[in-house]
Chain A
Amino acid sequence: MDIATQNLIFSVLKVALVIKVLLLGVTMVILAERRFSAFMQDRLGPNRTFYGGLGQSFADGIKLILKEDVIPTHVDKLTYMIAPIVMMTPALMTGAVIPFGPTIPIAGISLPFIGENLTPLVLQVADINVGLLYFVAIASIGVYGIVMGGWAQNNKYSLLGALRASAQMVSYELPMGLALVTVVLMSGSLSMNEIVAHQQETFWYVLNFPAFMIFLITIFAETNRLPFDLAECEQELVAGYHTEYSSMKFGMFLLAEYGNIITSSALVVTLFFGGWDIPFVDESALGLFGVILSMSVFGLKTSIFIFIFIWVRWSLPRFRYDQLMNVSWKGILPLSILTVVGTAVIMVLLKNFYH
């Protein structure tokens, strides 16, 4: 079998695997959120469906599919139908550039059905050299879904929610971009694989703590999670930008929110916590066991950040809108410019930083 066919087979397998893991992950994160929030509020949460509530999200999914799909008469039909698709597809697509394990050195080993391997297997769906820019670009498409959905419903609450969401996401994208610049400064590359490799050689970028904190705050804002969930605050706007959606269309908004949480957590881990790197352990010496161990460690780190997302949501109250804008434009944005300049200064001063 030639290289092209092998790459095709492996690519299709990886695409299927990542989408599967993301969707299963979403159901598990929804359940985790409901259980953790219940414990934090001294309740039990859903614990009956299939072994301690494990089947709850699937049951909810089936319920959502069977619910009546109401399309109100006043809406702009085309935009109304497209919005959930525009929302959900980018939420899945961002998973394409996250490296979830080390390269498996299987070149020269023969496998069943495939024959002798010609290339090592990279555990990343698409190993492109502008992975970071790709992630930022795709992640910001989600805002179109919110605006289209909010506008199309012809509902005042939805419109307000959509406007708030767009202004908020736009305001927090600048500090996010600048925090990412510090990562690029330290690694000298936009490729996710090289960023992870560089962290393995030197140090985890979380040591650049201001950049990490800025990035963490901005991804909370970008995923519209508390304390930044002004777009759908129940007490003011009913349900914000998805007020008029029902059935699976609403389900898509829900899935997209949690999908974004998973990919954002994975991104934080990749950029600041060394990705699949295990500190003080040489994974390549452990062979296949090392690969499995690295992948598990990556999953563990991501889970910790997903838990932080949930934890913060159920601990902090929500901002007022003018406070939200002030925090972004007058607080985090100048700070992030300072962080970039500071990182560059330190790098120039320590000339042997890289080599």
Chain B
Amino acid sequence: MEQYGVILAFFIFGLVFVVANLTIASILSKKIKSQQKFELYECGEVAEGDAWIRFNNRFYLIALVFLVFDVEVVMIYPWAVALNEMIAEGNGVFAFWAMSVFVVILILGLAYDWIKGGLEWVKPNLLQLDYLKKDA
């Protein structure tokens, strides 16, 4: 556990450096107030409306697929650590097949998502455009 204490110390050192820098900057920097400066920058035009809007739900889809797969990848780690010992004990083939079942399920999940179009970034009706058709 002592090593995690060192990591905590590292975290505190880093945080102190960052916060100290930001504080020093905000004290030393000069402040000249003018209304235009506090507007948002959108190519020099006056900004219209908020940016806090609903956005494309493909981003949610990607996040969801990621979550499922990431959990499965994390499940592989303990097996990966143990495989060497299993081989040394003569159980290598068993360990391999045990994990293959899991990996096959993972591949099936990926294949399902692929066939269903969950991995397509471009909307299907846009694929009619010539320049997208080529490398889709």
Binding site for B on A (CB under 8 A): 7, 11-12, 14-16, 18-19, 23, 64-74, 84-85, 88-89, 92-93, 95-96, 125-128, 133-134, 151, 153-159, 163, 166-167, 170-171, 173-174, 177-178, 181, 184-185, 188-190, 238, 243-244, 247-249, 251-252, 321-323, 325-326, 329-330, 333-334, 337, 340-341, 344-345, 347-348, 351, 353-355
**Nearest B residue to A349, CB-CB:** B92
Which residues in A have their C-beta under 8 angstroms from that of B37? 70
Cβ-closest 3 pairs across A and B: A248-B25, A188-B84, A92-B14
Partner of A65, one of B29, B47, B76: B29
Determine if B31 and A68 form an interchain contact, defined as CB atoms under 8 angstroms apart.
yes
Known: A326-B121, A334-B110, A353-B87. A244 touches B40 (CB 8 A): yes
* Minimum CB–CB distance for A114 against chain B, Å: 18
* Minimum CB–CB distance for B37 against chain A, Å: 6
Determine if B88 and A155 form an interchain contact, defined as CB atoms under 8 angstroms apart.
no
Known: A154-B50, A188-B85. A159 touches B55 (CB 8 A): yes
Which residues in B have their C-beta under 8 angstroms from that of A14? 6
Question: Digit string of B68-94 for contact with A (CB within 8 Å is 1, else 0)?
Answer: 011001101100111111011000110
Determine if A355 and B88 form an interchain contact, defined as CB atoms under 8 angstroms apart.
yes
Which residues in B have their C-beta under 8 angstroms from that of A158? 51
Known: A93-B14, A163-B55, A163-B59. A347 touches B70 (CB 8 A): no
**Nearest B residue to A184, CB-CB:** B80
Which residues in A have their C-beta under 8 angstroms from that of B4? 126, 128
Which residues in A have their C-beta under 8 angstroms from that of B17? 19, 23, 92
* Minimum CB–CB distance for A20 against chain B, Å: 10
* Minimum CB–CB distance for B98 against chain A, Å: 11
Question: Digit string of B1-38 for contact with A (CB within 8 Å is 1, else 0)?
Answer: 01110110111011101110110111011111000011
| Known pairs A92-B14, A340-B76 / 9 extra A-B pairs, C-beta < 8 Å | A11-B9, A72-B38, A84-B22, A163-B59, A177-B74, A188-B81, A325-B119, A344-B83, A347-B83
* Minimum CB–CB distance for A326 against chain B, Å: 7
Determine if A15 and B63 form an interchain contact, defined as CB atoms under 8 angstroms apart.
no
Determine if A252 and B122 form an interchain contact, defined as CB atoms under 8 angstroms apart.
no
Binding site for A on B (CB under 8 A): 2-4, 6-7, 9-11, 13-15, 17-19, 21-22, 24-26, 28-32, 37-43, 47, 50-52, 55-56, 59, 62-63, 66, 69-70, 73-74, 76-77, 80-85, 87-88, 92-93, 95-96, 99-100, 103, 106-107, 110, 114, 119, 121-122, 132, 135
Which residues in B have their C-beta under 8 angstroms from that of A170? 62-63, 66
Determine if A153 and B40 form an interchain contact, defined as CB atoms under 8 angstroms apart.
yes
Determine if A184 and B81 form an interchain contact, defined as CB atoms under 8 angstroms apart.
yes
* Minimum CB–CB distance for A94 against chain B, Å: 10
Q: How far is the CA of A170 from the CA of B15 in the complex (A)?
A: 25
Partner of B77, one of A66, A70, A184: A184
Which residues in B have their C-beta under 8 angstroms from that of A66? 25, 28-30
Q: How far is the CA of A156 from the CA of B85 in the complex (A)?
A: 53
Which residues in B have their C-beta under 8 angstroms from that of A353? 87
Determine if B51 and A154 form an interchain contact, defined as CB atoms under 8 angstroms apart.
yes
Determine if B70 and A89 form an interchain contact, defined as CB atoms under 8 angstroms apart.
no
Determine if B28 and A65 form an interchain contact, defined as CB atoms under 8 angstroms apart.
yes
Q: How far is the CA of A285 from the CA of B32 in the complex (A)?
A: 63
Known: A12-B9, A248-B21. A190 touches B15 (CB 8 A): no
Known: A154-B52, A163-B55, A354-B84. A181 touches B29 (CB 8 A): no
Determine if B42 and A155 form an interchain contact, defined as CB atoms under 8 angstroms apart.
yes
Partner of A244, one of B41, B73, B87, B110: B41
**Nearest A residue to B58, CB-CB:** A167
**Nearest B residue to A178, CB-CB:** B73
Determine if A19 and B81 form an interchain contact, defined as CB atoms under 8 angstroms apart.
no
Which residues in B have their C-beta under 8 angstroms from that of A156? 42, 51
* Minimum CB–CB distance for B64 against chain A, Å: 10
Q: How far is the CA of A188 from the CA of B82 in the complex (A)?
A: 7
**Nearest B residue to A259, CB-CB:** B14
Partner of B3, one of A93, A128, A334, A351: A128
* Minimum CB–CB distance for B82 against chain A, Å: 8
18 A-B Cβ contacts within 8 A? A15-B13, A19-B17, A66-B28, A66-B30, A68-B29, A74-B47, A92-B13, A95-B10, A96-B10, A155-B41, A171-B66, A173-B70, A177-B70, A188-B84, A248-B21, A326-B121, A348-B95, A355-B88
